[in-house]
C-alpha cells in the first residue's frame, strides 16, 4: 500500500453488486433535499434513493436497494450521467453509508465523481453494452464477486474481464493514496506552516 500513513491507497475494490438502471439519475433522487438538514452525514444511508424506494405511506416500492439479495452489495452499477444535478456531497455520502464502496457506470457527472474521489470511492466507466451485460449478470448472480482493479483499469466478474476507464487524476490519487485532501493537509501541517511563515505577504 502506498500513500501517506493516514490515507489508504484504493487500488482495488471487491464485492457484490447492485444494478441501478436509468440515465440522468440526479442527486435529488439519490438523496432528497428534505433529508439534508443534518449537522453530520451519519445516518444518511437509510435515506438513499428514499422516494424511489418508498411511497408516501413509507411502504416499500419495487427498487433494487429494497431487495434482500442486494443488501450486502458494495459496488453500484449505473448507466449514463449518474449523479447529475446539484453539487451536493450528501449524495455519495448517503450511498457510502448505505454500503457502497465503488461505482461502475457509463458516465458520471463531473462534480459527483469529484465528491466520490474525496471519499476514496472509484467511479469507473465502460460503454452501454458492457454495463448492461454486467447489470444483467448481477441480476442473475446477486452474490457474485466483482473485482475492480483501479490501477489496471479492469473489472472482473464470473469468467469475464472487461476494460474500464478511470480518470487519470482519479486513478493517480486513489492508487497513490492522495485522495483525502483534508488528511493530506493535516499530515503536512508543519510543512504548510513553514511555507506560510516564509511568505512575505502572509
Extract the C-alpha cell encoding 119.
471519499
pLDDT at res. 34: 85
pLDDT at res. 37: 72
pLDDT tens, position by position, 165-180? 999 999 999 999 888 7
**Range 195-202 average pLDDT:** 64
Q: Give ∠ CA 155-156-158 in degrees, rounded to 5.
A: 150
> Is 49 a member of any domain?
yes
For residue 57, the domain's CATH number is 3.20.19.10
> Is 1 a member of any domain?
no
Query: What's phi and psi for 133, nearest 5 deg?
Result: -65, -40
**Range 44-56 average pLDDT:** 94
CB–CB of 20/76 below 8 Å?
yes
pTM beyond cutoff 0.75? yes
pLDDT at res. 135: 98
pLDDT at res. 3: 44
> Is 3 a member of any domain?
no
Minimum mean pLDDT range among 44-48, 67-71, 85-89: 85-89
What percent of the chain is predicted at pLDDT more than 70?
85
Domain residues for the domain of 133 are: 12-198
**Range 38-57 average pLDDT:** 86
> Is 4 a member of any domain?
no
Extract the C-alpha cell encoding 187.
499530515
> Is 146 a member of any domain?
yes
Higher-confidence residue of 107 and 38: namely: 107
pLDDT at res. 7: 78
**Range 3-28 average pLDDT:** 88
> Is 182 a member of any domain?
yes
> Is 2 a member of any domain?
no
**Range 5-28 average pLDDT:** 92
pLDDT tens, position by position, 85-138? 988 889 999 999 999 999 999 999 999 999 999 999 999 999 999 999 999 999
- Predicted confidence (pLDDT) at residue 188 exceeds the cutoff of 50: no
- Predicted confidence (pLDDT) at residue 163 exceeds the cutoff of 60: yes
Q: Distance between CA 82 and CA 17 in Å, rounded? A: 16
Helix (H, G, I), strand (E, B) or coil at 190: helix
- Predicted confidence (pLDDT) at residue 1 exceeds the cutoff of 90: no
Average pLDDT, the chain: 89
> Is 7 a member of any domain?
no
| Tally of domains within the chain | 1
Amino acid at each position: 500500500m502506498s500513500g501517506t500513513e493516514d490515507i489508504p491507497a484504493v487500488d482495488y475494490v471487491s464485492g457484490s453488486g447492485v444494478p441501478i438502471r436509468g440515465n440522468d439519475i440526479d442527486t435529488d433522487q439519490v438523496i432528497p433535499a428534505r433529508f439534508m438538514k443534518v449537522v453530520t452525514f451519519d445516518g444518511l444511508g437509510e435515506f438513499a434513493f428514499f422516494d424511489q424506494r418508498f411511497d408516501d405511506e413509507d411502504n416499500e416500492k419495487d427498487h433494487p436497494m429494497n431487495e434482500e439479495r442486494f443488501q450486502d452489495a458494495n459496488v453500484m452499477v449505473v448507466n449514463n450521467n449518474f449523479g447529475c444535478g446539484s453539487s451536493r456531497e450528501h449524495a455519495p455520502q448517503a450511498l457510502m453509508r448505505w454500503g457502497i464502496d465503488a461505482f461502475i457506470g457509463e458516465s458520471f457527472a463531473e462534480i459527483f465523481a469529484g465528491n466520490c474521489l474525496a471519499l476514496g470511492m472509484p467511479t469507473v466507466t465502460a460503454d452501454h453494452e458492457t454495463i448492461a451485460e454486467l447489470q444483467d449478470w448481477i441480476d442473475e448472480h446477486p452474490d457474485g464477486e466483482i473485482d475492480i482493479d483501479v490501477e489496471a483499469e479492469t473489472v472482473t466478474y464470473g469468467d469475464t474481464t472487461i476494460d474500464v476507464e478511470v480518470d487519470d487524476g482519479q486513478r493517480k490519487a486513489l492508487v497513490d493514496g492522495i485522495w483525502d485532501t483534508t488528511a493530506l493537509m493535516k499530515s503536512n501541517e508543519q510543512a504548510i506552516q513553514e511555507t506560510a511563515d516564509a511568505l512575505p505577504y502572509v
